[in-house]
Amino acid sequence: MSTLLSDQPLGAHPRPGRAETRERLSKAAYDLLVIGGGILGTSVDWHSAQSGLRVAMVDAGDFAGATSSASSKLGAGVFAYSMLSAFGDGVGRLISPARAAADNPGLHTDGLKAVAVYGDHQMNDARVAVMTVRAAVRSGAVVINHAEVTGLRFTHGRVTGVDVQDRLDSTEFGIDARLAINATGPVGGPPAPHGGQGCGPSIRLSKGTHVVLKRKASWKAARATPTDKYRLTFALPWEDQLLLGTTDEAYEGDPAEVRATGADIQQILDEAALSVRDEHLSRDLITLAFAGLRALPGGPGGVESAKRETVVTEGRGGMLSVAGGKWTTYRHIGRTVLRKVAQLHHSLSGDMKPVSHPPRWVSLPGLADPNEVAHRLLVHREAGARRDPLTTRHLATHYGSLSFDIAHLVSEDPALGERIDPDGPEIWAQVVYARDHEWAETVDDVLPRRTTLTVRGLGTDEVRAGVQDLLVQKD
């Protein structure tokens, strides 16, 4: 009987190197070039590739390295507000504070009259994003991270290409495309030519900070407590830790400089104390604080009351911009932009024409029942091979069926099956996999985004050095 480990792994072909990718990007003429590889750019890239267009995507940093890995990780968080006000119509139910405290010992129930229970979904945003990049590439897109668009190229007043600089080795190259999509999020767009007017949309920014703490008790539910008319404070069990957030403040500084400040962290801890017991909020428990920027449509009123709408506009040089919205609706946003591209098609020369109805529900790579995957990993292992149950669970929930590729790496080199740190489930094979199949170029691509090492507070100098050693062993 053949076991899973002797089968050809699913992602057997490592991604091409950067020099080869740069060459492919600079030699071809693309239908569409997406500037920015956050979740919106990636969705546009993926949907465009699925609809038959020749597409490329570049990101100045890492894919999902900005806003798209700084979210509250809630799938339907947008519905929380309406659900809370919709009790009685079947979407939620009320329970007593005593019952809520029995299930969630960290909950502070003094003064609570009732607790409302509703359902939501949670994700690891950075990992879902990298799987979406992979889906786009599987559909034919060409992508590169750590490559910044430094200028726009115009033909007869229209943007028909970009100048790019590789941020890792400073190589400069160009990409030609019939249409460019600006998906640079809070940055607002690539640099304007000759210091002139930019091509980006009119947006304003709101900063949101989160704090991650080591969890002292089990949390069976996430907790959302209103702080005022518009805002909720969250305490979410996430990646075996407690995720608290978030602030919502107008931001006018340089988007590249956004950071969680001491004042942000204090505000989050104070607001969390409304419903979380003090012993769970000690500063010693903090493993990470991070901040992101919401891109909001311009308009009257404060940022906290602004609608979280997607802004899709056509700017100078015919460049389309997409910004804002929610992570949750990223597929819908990708299709919306594609429809806009199809409308613009009349003004574009040549044979570029996206198919009008690209498939609606193409699954992401690795989609599989994690329980089944964990079971198969435990059962179908080579004779004598050990399998750590925590690591097995971690692989199954974070990689789905792609876990078998990681198991294959371990069967070829058992040292890669060792834990990176005894306090976390991650193994060294995940670093090799991130390097060869998930576009990880730097230690900071691996620790906070391809793995949960940073979130768990395990990004020690020793771990960083070990990851760096594996990254440089490519090729």
CB of 228 to ligand FAD, least distance (A): 17
Residue 426 CB partners (closer than 8 Å, separation 6+) = 391, 394, 419, 420, 451, 452, 453, 458
Phi-psi region at 350: left, alpha or beta (left = phi > 0; alpha = psi -120 to 50): left
What is the rounded distance in angstroms from the CA atom of residue 40 to the CA atom of residue 333? 7
Q: How many residues sit in the footprint of ligand FAD (CB under 6 A)?
A: 40
For ligand FAD, the binding residue among 327, 399, 433, 439 (CB under 6 A) is 327
Q: What is the DSSP letter of 170?
A: -
Residues 73-92, mask of contacts with ligand FAD (x by CB under 6 A): xx--x---------------
Indicate whether 370 belongs to the interface with ligand FAD (CB under 6 A): no
Residue type, 367: L
Q: How far apart, in Å, do the first and last CA atoms of the chain sit?
A: 34
277 and 202 Cβ atoms separated by less than 8 Å: no
**Which CB atom, from 9 or from 292, has the smaller least distance to ligand FAD?**
292
- Please state, in angstroms and rounded to a whole number, the distance separating the CA atoms of residues 296 and 311: 8
Residue 246 engages ligand FAD in binding (rule: CB under 6 A): yes
**Is position 128 an interface residue for ligand FAD (rule: CB under 6 A)?**
no
Centre a 10 Å sphere on the Cβ of residue 218 and count the other Cβ atoms it contains.
10
Choice from 41, 106, 366, 459 touching ligand FAD (CB under 6 A):
41
Q: Which is nearer to ligand FAD, 181 or 396 (CB)?
A: 181
Q: Please identify, using beta-carbon distances, which residue of 184 and 451 lies nearer to ligand FAD.
A: 184
Q: Kindly state the smallest distance separating residue 71's Cβ from ligand FAD, in Å.
A: 3
Contacts (CB under 6 A) with ligand FAD, residues 290-309: 292-294
> For residues 250 and 192, what is the distance between their CA atoms, to the nearest angstrom?
24
Nearest CA to 439 out of 132, 35, 41, 123 is that of: 132
Write down the least CB distance from residue 462 to ligand FAD, Å.
29
Looking at 70-78, 311-319, 343-351, 467-475, which segment touches ligand FAD (CB under 6 A)?
70-78
- Least separation in angstroms between residue 267's CB and ligand FAD is 13
Q: Give 314's DSSP letter.
A: E
Binding residues vs ligand FAD (CB under 6 A): 35-41, 58-61, 64-68, 70-74, 77, 148-149, 183-187, 190, 208, 246, 292-294, 323, 325-328
